[in-house]
Amino acid sequence: MLRPSSQAWDLSAYVLAYFALGSASLLMLLRIAAIWKRNTLIITASFVVWLTGVGLNIWYLVIIRAQYDPLAGECIPIDSAKSRPSIIGVFIWETLPPL
């Protein structure tokens, strides 16, 4: 039986998900720029927060690990609690602009 590469599948799923989140967040950044009429201070602060979120996502993609569990028959992430800073960063960015 062919054993799937858990690391590759897990990494590709996270890359696609974080790309989607990063793209949606970039659209929010552009919307903020339009609403605030290109105010340099607001755009700079928003861009820094967005870059921090993207950086946290990239950091998590570097440290992510997974392994195949033959009993479950699927790939299982190892130590997924390390993703907490990345998830918190995305949550802050997604809730901050409407305030």
pLDDT tens-digit readout, 15-49: 898 888 888 888 988 888 899 898 899 889 888 88
Residue 98 pLDDT: 57
The per-residue pLDDT for range 41-71, each reduced to its tens digit, is 988 988 888 888 888 888 888 888 877 778 8
Residue 81 pLDDT: 78
Residue 41 pLDDT: 92
Segments forming the whole domain that contains residue 32? 6-95
The pLDDT of residue 1 is above 50 = no
38: in domain: yes
- Locate all alpha helices (DSSP H) within 4-96, ordered by sequence: 6-35, 40-63, 84-95
72: in domain: yes
In this prediction the pTM is 0.72
Residue 58 pLDDT: 86
49: in domain: yes
Q: Are 53 and 90 in contact (CB under 8 A)?
A: yes
> What's the domain count of the chain?
1
23: in domain: yes
Q: Burial, 25: exposed, middle or buried (Cβ in 10 Å; 0-12, 13-18, 19+)?
A: buried
1: in domain: no
The label of the residue with tokens 């989140």 reads 21
The pLDDT of residue 4 is above 80 = no
